[in-house]
């Protein structure tokens, strides 16, 4: 081996030089491209009037994506005057082409528009909700979902998507927990990177690429009481350590735009928060893109008590907001504010420049209609391939929460009682935040079972209940959509029919849970149980003594203590998307062995909220033993969640050996190798998400009890073992101290590896500087 070492060394040197040369060339090219862009934008701005510059800061809404109480008016007239910079809510080649032609050919300077839309979990082909997608723990699938969504979106003329939502959420009452990746900052950062890369591709100038808009900046998921649009108040350490990392990760991945959030931060609304939009985002993190407000969030600053529309518009511009969504505060007040000295010309110019740079980066000045291709719209949207992928990612997102006595997978024979208001339902398959998806093209659970097992299984169907019989919940949940089609029978008549149906079957499959509009924006819930009408149905079915399989639709963690106690099996399907029924049937009958793991803790009771795995210890921690007083516990329930972060079962079982470290004493910037042997001890081939956590038991501030720092998804055949290794560096030990310095401190560290945050093997290491 030694005689080859000089050759290897020389090769390594050559490769290093090649790498350095490539990096130098890339840097030089980037600088040249930036210089070219700056020259172009400066030349264009030199021709623009003040009104035209302000017009670039105005984003209007058309079409079907109205998510507020204000609707844009006089759009075509404003466009001719150069008073609009972009449109959202409009899609389809013909619709977009009409407006883009009007902007380019009908305005004085021919400046193209940017077209945006809420493309959240697919465009036409709908994938599971983001919380469900995150449960795949498969970054390749996650990135591919964004790539496919971008391809469909651009095929219909779009070039900007209001996604990903990277807000950390620890409160299941908050409706928009459905739109993010859960509670963990490290994992949320990995998902943020994957989504941005999927949307933006290799180059924003590519016809299939869209510019990502990261939201909601910032801390929106920390809203008090889990109530939409509510106040956020937290320490700086909590911000930097637990909530801000995914936003920074999105910047590192190249995200082109950000969206300000509705909430306040340190008493200052995010949309007018200079510390947030300028000091942190641009000066500390180096973000070079543009920032758009959320829907009329600028106007709503007046409700926070900071002044009239002119006053808050000036505050927003000075804070670093570049584009005003729908409210037209910039359009209607900035010229007056400039005359009165409340803003300066340079501030208007800077915001205009950032918007124009985004359009330049997208290649719209060279080709305003780069994605406008009627043939592409026919070929690239809602294809057999996109539906195949939708089925695959849905299967991978499902989480098996319980499987008593191997109830699942079901036999491909016998008789099934298929019950529940979501069992033979198309409209609720897609989930929340779907603009362009067609529920009529979704696959229901009843159809999926028929497609997968045909006539081999006899299926007896009974609806059993409405989604909800609560009139207030129904009115509010279905306020923007067609109301639930209520069955004319009484609740008891429906339950009686379901029970009689169940008595004739070998097993009951109850498809229950939340309607799509019970989560998402403006859909917070104080009670996160399954709606009472469906709970009554489940209780009646359980009394039959037949095996009860619950297929759960939900946009958030629910309180499932009764269900966990009485159901034979629980499969969390979230809201699976277009291929819902096919994917669910594949998993129920064992064509795919579920491997999803939850990314948000499921509480036992709403009274435990907020609940999350990486909490701090208290001075009086509860050790779990009964009868103790003066400890941090509840009198009536356990501190522990029902299902911890990272939890998810399989049709097979896995055993973990002890954690092995290649060294137990380290010093300086070296690498620690931690390994564990994982064995498939069951009868089915299956995937397992092996999770790495690190604890820092002694530090200069109180640290989290553990933090996720890595994972690997492996596939094992029955009886097969695999050694899983993690390379740990000092970067994995860093945290923000009381001076907000991001660094690591020497001492003891506990390395934990396991199947979820509550079930790990551990080993200790001493690591000195």
Catalytic residues: 294
Q: Quick check: 121 and 97 in contact, CB under 8 A? A: no
Element housing 735 (H / E): strand 735-736
DSSP letter for 636, please. S
Buried b (16+ CB within 10 A) or exposed e, 577-615: bbbbbbbbbbbbbeebbbbbbbbbbbbbbbebbbbbbbe
Residue 640 tokens, joined? 């522990």
Q: Quick check: 180 and 166 in contact, CB under 8 A? A: yes
Q: For the residues of 477-536, what is the DSSP string, one character each?
A: HTTTSPPP---SS-HHHHHHHHHHHHHTSSEEEEEEE--GGGSSTT---S--SSPHHHHH
Distance CA 642, CA 653 (A): 20
Distance CA 692, CA 712 (A): 9
Q: Quick check: 326 and 60 in contact, CB under 8 A? A: yes
Distance CA 304, CA 598 (A): 36
DSSP letter for 381, please. S
Residue 537 tokens, joined? 């149905």
Q: For the residues of 232-281, what is the DSSP string, one character each?
A: ----HHHIIIIISHHHHHHHHTT--EEEE-SSEETTEEGGG-HIIIIIII
DSSP bridge pairs for 643? 602
Distance CA 290, CA 279 (A): 14
Residue 292 tokens, joined? 């758009």
Q: Quick check: 350 and 343 in contact, CB under 8 A? A: no
Residue 534 tokens, joined? 């469906």
As a residue count, the chain comes to 769
* Residue 341, burial from CB neighbour count under 10 angstroms (0-12, 13-18, 19+): exposed
Distance CA 204, CA 32 (A): 17
In degrees, to the nearest 5, what angle opens at C-alpha 114 toward C-alphas 287 and 176? 65
Q: Quick check: 707 and 694 in contact, CB under 8 A? A: yes
In degrees, to the nearest 5, what angle opens at C-alpha 675 toward C-alphas 672 and 677? 180
Q: Is 367 helix (H, G, I), strand (E, B) or coil?
A: coil
Tell me how far the alpha carbon of residue 389 is from its chain's centroid. 18
Distance CA 40, CA 13 (A): 41
Residue in the structure block whose two tokens are 């498969």? 138
Q: Quick check: 235 and 182 in contact, CB under 8 A? A: no
Helix ranges (H only) for 551-661 are: 561-566, 580-588
Distance CA 749, CA 735 (A): 13
Omega cis (within 30) before 97: no
């Amino acid at each position: 081996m030694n005689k080859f070492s000089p050759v290897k060394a020389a090769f390594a040197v050559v490769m290093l030089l090649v790498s350095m040369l490539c990096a130098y060339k890339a840097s030089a090219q980037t600088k040249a491209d930036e210089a070219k862009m700056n020259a172009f934008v400066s030349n264009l701005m030199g021709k623009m009037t003040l009104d035209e510059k302000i017009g670039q800061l105005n984003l209007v809404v058309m079409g079907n994506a109205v998510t507020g109480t204000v609707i844009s008016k006089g759009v075509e007239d404003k466009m001719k005057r150069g008073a609009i910079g972009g449109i959202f809510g409009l899609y389809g080649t013909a619709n977009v082409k009409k407006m883009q032609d009007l902007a380019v050919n009908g305005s004085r300077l021919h400046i193209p528009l940017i077209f945006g839309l809420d493309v959240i979990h697919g465009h036409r082909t709908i994938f599971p909700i983001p919380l469900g997608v995150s449960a795949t723990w498969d970054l390749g699938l996650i990135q591919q979902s964004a790539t496919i969504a971008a391809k469909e979106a651009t095929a219909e003329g779009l070039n900007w998507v209001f996604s990903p939502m990277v807000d950390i959420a620890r409160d299941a009452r908050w409706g928009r927990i459905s739109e993010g990746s859960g509670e963990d900052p490290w994992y949320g950062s990995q998902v943020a990177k994957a989504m941005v890369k999927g949307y933006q591709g290799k180059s924003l100038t590519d016809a299939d690429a869209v510019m990502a808009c990261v939201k909601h900046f910032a801390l929106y998921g920390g809203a008090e009481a889990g109530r939409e649009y509510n106040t956020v108040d937290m320490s700086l350490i909590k911000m930097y350590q637990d909530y801000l990392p995914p936003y920074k990760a999105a910047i590192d991945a190249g995200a082109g735009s950000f969206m300000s959030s509705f909430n306040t931060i340190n008493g200052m609304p995010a949309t007018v928060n200079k510390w947030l939009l300028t000091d942190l985002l641009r000066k500390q993190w180096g973000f070079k893109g543009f920032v758009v407000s959320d829907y009329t969030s600028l106007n709503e600053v007046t409700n926070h008590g900071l002044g009239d529309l002119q006053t808050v518009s000036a505050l927003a511009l000075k804070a670093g907001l570049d584009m005003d969504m729908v409210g037209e505060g910039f359009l209607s007040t900035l010229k007056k504010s400039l005359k009165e000295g409340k803003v300066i010309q340079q501030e208007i110019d800077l915001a205009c420049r950032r918007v124009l740079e985004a359009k330049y980066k997208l290649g719209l000045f060279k080709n305003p209609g780069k994605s406008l291709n009627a043939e592409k719209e026919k070929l690239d949207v809602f294809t057999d391939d996109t539906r195949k992928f939708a089925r695959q990612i849905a299967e991978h997102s499902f989480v098996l929460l319980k499987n008593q006595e191997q109830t699942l997978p079901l036999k491909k024979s016998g008789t099934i009682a298929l019950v529940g208001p979501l069992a033979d339902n198309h409209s609720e398959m897609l989930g929340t935040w779907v603009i362009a998806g067609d529920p009529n093209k979704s696959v229901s659970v009843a159809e999926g079972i028929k497609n997968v097992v045909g006539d081999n299984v006899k299926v007896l169907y009974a609806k059993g209940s409405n989604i909800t019989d609560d009139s207030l919940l129904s009115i509010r949940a279905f306020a923007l959509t067609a109301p639930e089609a209520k069955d004319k029978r009484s609740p008891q008549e429906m339950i009686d029919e379901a029970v009689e149906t169940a008595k004739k079957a070998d097993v009951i499959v109850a498809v229950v849970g939340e309607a799509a509009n019970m989560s998402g924006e403006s859909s917070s819930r104080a009670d996160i149980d399954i709606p009472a009408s469906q709970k009554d149905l489940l209780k009646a079915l359980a009394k039959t003594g037949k095996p009860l399989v619950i297929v759960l639709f939900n946009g958030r963690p629910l309180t499932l203590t009764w269900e966990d106690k009485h159901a034979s099996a629980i499969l969390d399907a979230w809201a699976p998307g277009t291929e819902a029924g096919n994917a669910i049937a594949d998993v129920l009958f064992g064509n795919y062995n579920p491997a999803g793991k939850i990314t948000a803790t499921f509480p036992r009771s709403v009274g435990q909220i907020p609940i999350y795995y990486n909490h701090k210890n208290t001075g009086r921690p509860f050790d779990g033993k009964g009868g103790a007083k003066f400890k941090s516990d509840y009198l009536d329930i356990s501190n522990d969640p029902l299902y911890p972060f990272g939890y998810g079962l399989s049709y097979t079982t896995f055993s973990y050996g002890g954690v092995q470290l290649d060294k137990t004493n380290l010093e300086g910037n070296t690498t620690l190798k931690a390994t564990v042997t994982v064995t498939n001890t069951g009868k089915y081939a299956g995937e397992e998400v092996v999770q790495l956590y690190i604890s820092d038991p002694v530090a200069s501030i109180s640290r989290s009890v553990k933090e996720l720092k890595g994972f690997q998804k492996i596939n094992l055949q029955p009886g097969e073992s695999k050694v899983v290794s993690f390379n740990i560096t000092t970067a994995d030990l860093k945290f923000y101290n009381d001076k907000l310095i991001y660094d690591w401190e020497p001492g003891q560290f506990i390395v934990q590896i396991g199947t979820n945050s509550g079930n790990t093997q551990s080993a200790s290491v001493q690591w000195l500087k």
